[in-house]
Amino acid sequence: MNVDVEGHDFEVLQSNDWTRFRPRIVVVEDEGLDPGESKIVRMLNDHGYELCAQNVIILDKINEYFLLDRTNKQLPVQR
C-alpha cells in the first residue's frame, strides 16, 4: 500500500480496517525525520508493522517503508 495524500496520510491510514486489509508493505510520506516522534510510526507499529527504511524527499518530508511483522502469528495477513 502506498499512501501520499499531501499532509493527510495519518487520517487515511486511520481509516483503513487493519483487521481486514493487511498489506505486507506500507509506504507513507511523513513529516519530520525522527521516527520516535511520528504518530504514523506509532500507529503502524501498533498494527504489527516495523519501520525498515526511510528516505528524505525534501527538507522535512520523508518516505517511510514498513513491513508486516510476519513473526506475530496473531495478526491476520491478507493474501
Per-residue pLDDT of the chain (79 residues; tens, 9 = 90+): 999 888 899 999 999 999 999 999 999 999 877 778 899 999 999 999 999 999 988 877 889 999 998 676 555 555 4
Instruction: Specify the pLDDT at position 76.
Output: 55
Q: What distance in Å separates the CA atoms of residue 1 and residue 67, rounded to the nearest whole number? A: 11
Q: Which residue has the cell 526511510?
A: 54
Q: What distance in Å separates the CA atoms of residue 2 and residue 24, rounded to the nearest whole number? A: 11
Instruction: Specify the pLDDT at position 48.
Output: 94
Instruction: Specify the pLDDT at position 75.
Output: 53
Q: What is the DSSP letter of 5?
A: -
Q: What distance in Å separates the CA atoms of residue 53 and residue 34, rounded to the nearest whole number? A: 12
* Strand-pair partners of 68: 49
